[in-house]
Amino acid sequence: MQKRLRACAAAALASVVLATSVVSAALQSAASISKTDAAAALSATDEILKVVSRLRGLEIKQAVKSGLKTKDEIEQAVIRDLDESTSPEEFDAMQKTFAKLGLTKKDFRLREYMVALMREQVAGFYEPKTGEFYLAAWLPISDQKRVIAHELVHALQDQHFDLRRFEKWPKGDSDAELAAHALVEGEATLVMIQYDLDQQGIRLDLTKLPSLANTMLDQDTDSDAKNYPVLASAPKVLRENLQFPYIYGAGFVQSVLKSGSWQTLNNGYTNLPASSEQIIHPEKFLTRDNPVKIEMADLLPALGKSWKQADADVNGEFGYQVLLAEFIPKQSARTAAAGWGGDRYALYENKETSALIVAQYTTWDTANDAREFFDAYANRTEKRYGAARAKDSTAQLRVYETGEGLVSIEMRGSDVVIIEGAQDREQLQRLSAQLWQSKKK
């Protein structure tokens, strides 16, 4: 459930703490830094850019302008980015999809929460439109240089690979967008770590360390609630999607470098990672194990004129990790999502009653993978609704009667389709017959 949650190419570095204690996230103090400290930080831009260029192996094509932003100014930048990338109608559809799948409460105010979350999290950001980077004006001087290093990696990426091409991502392919974002942010995070080590005089080959992603995923986050209360209280779907590009992205870049070189990573900007699956399992990126594209059948003929399609997108492996882990153990969710091959979902809304139906068509690497997902989603459904399967359920088809309509989970070979919210058995049968007409490419 990625759904365009990026909200600025920003260094949202909360909770990125390595067990090696070589780098920590920028803790945001309430007081603004002094003008002297601000001038000192910004005057270091050119020197930091030279170090980052050396560490990354990308030449500096032009100087990078820098400036400071207050929290209010950063909030305005976030709002501007949100308005440009996501319309009010898209936010409404996104929120309805989240609520229908039990990921947020029905009255959750998604856009307002995103603004508050990014206001808390953004330590700095690079603006491809102007070629400038901005530093949060309240950061302690001790934390500013690593944030500058992170953002200057984005400046070098932009000079060599053109980051503006990622700003207008095609609608309905959020999983691939998340993967591209993870490439960009994962690289900046890894180089930031290298910069921090370099400044301490530590020469350490990060490719020889255990997975950075696993290290960061296993860290103790008890302090997050105090330092980042908005992030700590965020629904899992928001928190994990915002952290994915930095945590999984750093592990992805580390693995690519271990298997190749910076040139291998450079090639990734020409032949982008195609899915969150390739970020989680970098070997699938290196072998170009690309996802199956699903052309989902239009369900409106089975629904009638009072319905409209409100939302449609791709969940991806990471999306299903989040979706399942909302109601079943995280490790079980990871295992069930690991055999993902491709998917497509759509949300339909009744224009008269506001009733919602979400349909998903998924395909898996093997029939065994499909069975694991089928069982996990059934477990999720039972936990979420507290519902028992209907008596006519079988090993391949499970139907549940819930307070939000009928839920159907059906497996055929390596494919699993899910319908949630059908109003009666007749409608469910029509929807199922139509949904199974979807095509795989």
Q: Is the pLDDT of residue 71 over 70?
A: yes
> 26-30, 84-88, 214-218, 390-394 — which is least confidently predicted?
26-30
Give the pLDDT score at 332.
Answer: 98
Long-range contact set of residues 144-148: C-beta below 8 Å, sequence gap at least 24: 144/26, 144/33, 144/41, 145/41, 145/44, 145/48, 145/195, 145/199, 146/23, 146/26, 146/192, 146/195, 146/196, 147/11, 147/13, 147/26, 147/123, 147/192, 148/41, 148/44, 148/45, 148/48, 148/66, 148/124
Q: Is the dihedral of CA 395, 410, 333, 258 positive or negative?
A: positive
Q: Is the pLDDT of residue 6 over 90?
A: no
DSSP 163: G
pLDDT, mean of residues 51-79? 89
Q: Is the pLDDT of residue 31 over 70?
A: no
pLDDT, mean of residues 135-159? 85
Span 205-228, pLDDT tens digits = 888 888 888 888 876 555 556 677
User: For all residues of the chain together, what is the average pLDDT?
Assistant: 87
Q: Is residue 140 helix, strand or coil?
A: coil
Residue 362 C-beta-side C-alpha neighbours within 13 Å: 30
Given pLDDT bands bounded at 50, 70 and 90, which one contains residue 17? very low
Given pLDDT bands bounded at 50, 70 and 90, which one contains residue 391? confident
Q: How far apart are CA 225 and CA 317, in angstroms?
A: 28
- The closest alpha carbon to 157, from 60, 16, 25, belongs to 60
Q: Is residue 248 helix, strand or coil?
A: helix
pLDDT, mean of residues 44-56? 94
Q: Which helix (H) or strand (E) holds 381?
A: helix 367-385
pLDDT, mean of residues 279-302? 97
Under a CB-based contact definition with an 8 Å cutoff, are residues 343 and 313 in contact?
no
Could you identify the residue written with the tokens 């009733």?
355
Span 82-106, pLDDT tens digits = 888 888 899 999 999 999 999 999 9
pLDDT, mean of residues 181-194? 95
The pLDDT > 90 percentage for the chain reads 64
For the chain, the distance separating the N- and C-terminal CA atoms, rounded to the nearest angstrom, is 22
Give the pLDDT score at 226.
Answer: 66
- The closest alpha carbon to 247, from 216, 203, 291, belongs to 216
Give the pLDDT score at 330.
Answer: 95
Q: How far apart are CA 145 and CA 436, in angstroms?
A: 54
| Neighbour tally for 99: CB within 10 Å | 16
Give the pLDDT score at 224.
Answer: 57
Q: Is residue 300 helix, strand or coil?
A: helix
Span 360-387, pLDDT tens digits = 999 999 999 999 999 999 999 999 999 8
pLDDT, mean of residues 182-204? 93
Position with higher pLDDT, 7 vs 369 = 369
AA identity, residue 125: F
Q: Is the pLDDT of residue 298 over 70?
A: yes
The pLDDT > 70 percentage for the chain reads 88
pLDDT, mean of residues 351-363? 97
Span 239-279, pLDDT tens digits = 899 889 999 999 999 999 999 999 999 999 999 999 999 99
Given pLDDT bands bounded at 50, 70 and 90, which one contains residue 142? low
Give the pLDDT score at 245.
Answer: 94
Under a CB-based contact definition with an 8 Å cutoff, are residues 248 and 282 in contact?
no
Q: Is the pLDDT of residue 436 over 90?
A: yes
Residue 221 φ/ψ, nearest 5 degrees: -110, 25
Q: Is the pLDDT of residue 81 over 90?
A: no
Position with higher pLDDT, 50 vs 234 = 50
Given pLDDT bands bounded at 50, 70 and 90, which one contains residue 23? very low
